[in-house]
């Protein structure tokens, strides 16, 4: 189908060129034929006029004597008919006053009077002593005639006019041969023009058809083909220019593709989100980092309105302010749902040639940084508070002893015991802080080995049996025998000790604490510590593993907790490649789960 279409297009071009050649040749030949025919006709008419003038002059001597004195009308009429028969022309003799004295086309019995001829153009010229001529329609014979008139003179005096006339068909016959010759020549020239037009049009159409095919390949992205070039005419120069253009386009596209690949690689590799907007606020470019910030996924959004895709009015207001002012802008924005991020935004105007001024927006997600700053601030406040409390107690009791309490043995000992307990608490707090710092800094090295989880769990349960019995809490292990895990033994014991200690502390008398484990369908081992204690409010669950975060601060301090246990547990579980999860309902207990790899 495509080949046929291409051939048809070339044929149409050749046909149009041929028709154009024929039209131009035809118009030229028609003009030439009209000119030549007119020239031949004019020449033939002039020759005929001259011939009639000669004939008329030869007849002057036959008619001039008849006008001397009283004209002899009958004789004039007879001679007019006689010479008309010999010459094959109409003969008319006109008196000085314009009255027709003799007319060859009027018979002997024709008694009608002819109108006065004094006003006829050829007659007036003859009366003036010249040879007059005219072509017009005759009222007498009812057809077009060529008139030639000469003066009839006697002794130098014009006594009348002799006029000869021939019908125009005679003139047509005289010029018909010229027209035939011109027509034959025009037909031959037309045929020759047709042949030349066909040859030339095909020679022109073929290279143009090849150029069109090459241009179609270029339009479809194929720049490897070339146009065959032959000769040195304008078409060859056009084909050579097309070939050079293909090479230049191929190089430009390759360069553009390489530059575009670089830009895409840079944008895709940037941590910052990059968004480019046109003057109407539609998305031109948005990189993967920006898509991730706004949860857009991989769906195409280019060409859509900014507010339609990213429904954040504060960000839109910032963009509009920069676009209106034309000055670069910086702002930190708290984006609401569904984004829920803190972004440091920088925007500059973007000059789009021929379109106007757009905006280039660079976004840096500082959510984690601001949260870290907030956590650090809270951490400093919490550490200061946690350290200040035992130090204040120790200092207070020591000052009391120094002020004289040492002399009272029963009070001195009690004061020293209280100071010692707070010193121990302070030591535990410092140890936990140092350990947590090492875990977060990746300085704690694990030595994972294959362990029997049943034996490890039994040892931890045995450690807390007395404490559980004293508080009226039932503590059991449901870890099946032979269940193995791969972990650092000391760190695993530390994880279980922290979890069981919390469960026993926050479970009232009559409650139950269960240590269990099972292999999950995914192949990992899931360990759980479940209690029937007071539980944790749902609003506190997201922050329960943060440092120094306590649900009930007063009770936590009363039970000797530092607020760092669950943070340490979380980091130790993650160091083993596992995950930590906490489920709890206020008043219904808490279950802590974590995973460990199999041996």
Domain extent, residue 354, equals 270-365
More confident residue, 393 or 208: 393
Asked whether residue 552 carries a pLDDT value surpassing 60, the answer given is no
Q: 312, 340, 365 — which closes off a domain?
A: 365
Residue 527 has pLDDT above 90, yes or no: yes
Mean pLDDT of 320-336: 87
Tokens read off for 513:
């604490």
Cβ-defined contacts of 102-111 (< 8 Å, 24+): 102/63, 102/73, 102/76, 102/77, 103/77, 103/140, 104/80, 105/140, 105/141, 106/77, 106/140, 108/77
The answer to whether residues 566 and 426 belong to one domain is: no
CB atoms within 10 A of CB 163: 28
**Residue 130, domain member (yes or no):** no
Q: Are 318 and 334 in contact (CB under 8 A)?
A: no
What confidence score (pLDDT) does residue 4 get?
42
Q: 321, 347, 365 — which closes off a domain?
A: 365
Domain end (from 389, 421, 439): 439
Buried b (16+ CB within 10 A) or exposed e, 385-401: ebeeebeebbeebeeeb
pLDDT value at residue 529: 94
Q: Please count the CA atoms within 13 angstroms of the CA of 175 that sit on its side-chain side.
A: 20
Query: What confidence tier does 597 reach under pLDDT thresholds 50, 70, 90?
Result: very high
Confidence of residue 110 (pLDDT cuts 50, 70, 90): low
First to last CA, the chain: 69
* Average pLDDT for 327-354: 84
Q: Are residues 417 and 560 in the same domain?
A: no
Q: Which of 58-72, 495-509, 533-547 has the highest mean pLDDT?
A: 495-509
**What are the Cα distances from residue 282, in Å, to 49, 285, 288, 360, 361?**
89, 9, 17, 12, 13
* pLDDT at res. 556: 47
The model's pLDDT over 440-457, given as tens digits with 9 standing for 90+, comes to: 667 677 888 999 999 999
Any domain includes 161: no
Closest by CA position to 36, among listed 176, 180, 182, 174: 182
Q: Are residues 434 and 463 in the same domain?
A: no
Residue whose structure tokens are 């043995």: 409
Residue 591: predicted pLDDT: 93
**Does any domain span residue 554?**
yes
Q: Say which CATH number the domain at 431 has.
A: 1.10.287.130
Of 304, 312, 311, give the one whose Cα is nearest residue 280.
Answer: 304
Q: Which of 109-123, 163-177, 298-312, 489-503 has the lowest mean pLDDT?
A: 163-177
Q: Which of 114-118, 142-146, 227-231 has the least mean pLDDT?
A: 227-231
**One domain for residues 355 and 498:** no
Indicate if 424 and 390 belong to the same structural domain. yes
Which SS3 state, helix, strand or coil, does residue 130 take?
coil
How much is the average pLDDT of 29-43?
73
pLDDT at 465 over 80: yes
Query: Is 38 domain-assigned?
Result: no
Domain membership of residue 388 (yes or no) is: yes
pLDDT of residue 112: 54
Q: Are residues 589 and 506 in the same domain?
A: yes
For position 502, which CATH number holds? 3.30.565.10
Do both 449 and 590 map to the same domain?
yes
pLDDT digits (tens, 9 = 90+) for 565-574: 788 888 889 8
Which pLDDT value is given to residue 23? 74
Please report, for the domain that includes residue 283, its CATH number. 3.30.450.20
Query: How many domains does the chain contain in total?
Result: 3
Query: Exposed/middle/buried for 90, CB within 10 Å: 0-12, 13-18, 19+?
Result: buried
Query: What mean pLDDT comes out for the span 118-147?
Result: 82
Task: Indicate if the pLDDT at residue 555 is higher than 50.
Answer: no
List % helix, strand, coil for the chain (3-state, nearest 5): 55, 20, 25
188 lies in some domain: no
Q: Are residues 450 and 464 in the same domain?
A: yes
Confidence of residue 499 (pLDDT cuts 50, 70, 90): very high
pLDDT at 2: 44
Strand pairing report for 283-286 and 589-596: unpaired
Indicate the pairing of strand 157-167 with strand 143-154: antiparallel
Same domain, 354 and 393: no
Judgement on whether residues 469 and 513 belong to the same structural domain of the protein: yes
Q: The pTM is what?
A: 0.43
pLDDT band at 379 (very low <50, low <70, confident <90, very high): low
Report percent pLDDT > 90 for the chain. 14
> Do residues 268 and 287 make contact, with C-beta atoms less than 8 angstroms apart?
yes
Which of 230-244, 350-364, 365-379, 525-539: highest mean pLDDT?
A: 525-539
Q: Classify residue 386: in a domain, yes or no.
A: yes
Q: Note whether 482 and 384 are same-domain residues.
A: no
Q: Does residue 33 fall inside a structural domain?
A: no
E strands within 261-399?
Answer: 273-277, 283-286, 329-335, 341-352, 356-365
Q: Are residues 590 and 495 in the same domain?
A: yes
Question: Dihedral, CA atoms, 32, 38, 44, 45, nearest 10 degrees?
Answer: -170
């Amino acid at each position: 189908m495509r080949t046929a279409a291409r051939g048809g297009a070339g044929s149409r071009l050749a046909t149009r060129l041929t028709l154009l050649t024929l039209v131009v040749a035809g118009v030229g030949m028609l003009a030439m034929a009209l000119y030549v025919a007119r020239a031949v006709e004019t020449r033939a008419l002039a020759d005929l006029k001259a011939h009639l003038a000669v004939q008329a002059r030869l007849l002057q001597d036959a008619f001039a004597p008849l006008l001397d004195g009283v004209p002899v009308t009958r004789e004039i009429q007879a001679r007019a008919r006689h010479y008309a028969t010999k010459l094959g022309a109409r003969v008319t003799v006109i008196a000085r006053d314009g009255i027709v004295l003799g007319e060859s086309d009027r018979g002997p019995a024709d008694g009608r009077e002819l109108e006065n001829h004094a006003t006829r153009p050829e007659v007036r010229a003859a009366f003036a002593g010249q040879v007059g001529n005219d072509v017009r329609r005759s009222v007498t014979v009812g057809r077009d005639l060529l008139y030639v008139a000469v003066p009839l003179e006697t002794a130098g005096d014009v006594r009348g006019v002799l006029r000869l006339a021939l019908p125009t068909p005679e003139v047509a016959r005289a010029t018909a041969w010229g027209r035939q010759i011109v027509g034959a020549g025009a037909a031959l020239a037309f045929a020759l023009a047709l042949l030349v037009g066909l040859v030339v049009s095909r020679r022109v159409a073929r290279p143009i058809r090849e150029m069109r095919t090459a241009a179609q390949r270029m339009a479809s992205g194929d720049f490897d083909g070339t146009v065959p070039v032959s000769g040195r005419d304008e078409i060859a120069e056009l084909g050579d220019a097309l070939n050079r253009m293909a090479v230049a386009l191929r190089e430009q596209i390759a360069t553009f593709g390489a530059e575009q690949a670089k830009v895409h690689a840079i944008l895709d590799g940037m941590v910052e989100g990059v968004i480019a907007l046109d003057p109407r606020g539609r998305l031109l470019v948005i990189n993967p980092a920006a898509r991730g910030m706004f949860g857009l996924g991989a769906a195409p959004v280019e060409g859509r309105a900014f507010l339609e895709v990213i429904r954040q009015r504060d960000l839109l207001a910032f963009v509009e302010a920069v676009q209106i002012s034309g000055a670069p802008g910086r702002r930190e924005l708290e984006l609401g749902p569904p984004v829920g991020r803190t972004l440091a935004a920088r925007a500059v105007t973007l000059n789009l040639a021929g379109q106007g001024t757009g905006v280039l927006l660079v976004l840096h997600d500082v959510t984690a940084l601001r949260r870290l700053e907030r956590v650090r601030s809270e951490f400093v406040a919490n550490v200061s508070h946690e350290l200040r409390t035992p130090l204040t107690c120790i200092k207070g009791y020591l000052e009391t002893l120094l002020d004289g309490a040492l002399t009272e043995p029963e009070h001195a000992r009690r004061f020293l015991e209280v100071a010692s307990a707070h010193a121990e608490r302070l030591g535990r707090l410092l140890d936990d802080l140092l350990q947590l710092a090492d875990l977060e800094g990746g300085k704690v090295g694990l030595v994972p080995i294959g362990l029997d989880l049943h034996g490890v769990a039994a040892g931890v349960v045995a450690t807390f049996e007395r404490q559980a019995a004293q508080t009226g809490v039932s503590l059991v292990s449901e870890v099946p025998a032979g269940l193995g895990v791969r972990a650092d033994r000391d760190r695993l014991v530390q994880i279980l000790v922290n979890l069981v200690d919390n469960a026993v502390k926050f479970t009232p008398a009559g409650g139950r604490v269960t240590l269990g484990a099972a292999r999950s369908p995914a192949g990992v081992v899931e360990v759980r510590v479940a209690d029937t204690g007071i539980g944790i409010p749902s609003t506190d669950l997201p922050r329960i593993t943060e440092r120094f975060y306590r649900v009930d601060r007063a009770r936590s301090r009363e039970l000797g907790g530092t607020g760092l246990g669950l943070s340490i547990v979380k980091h130790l579980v993650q160091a083993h490649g596992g995950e930590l999860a906490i489920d709890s309902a206020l008043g219904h207990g808490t279950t802590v789960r974590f995973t460990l790899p199999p041996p």
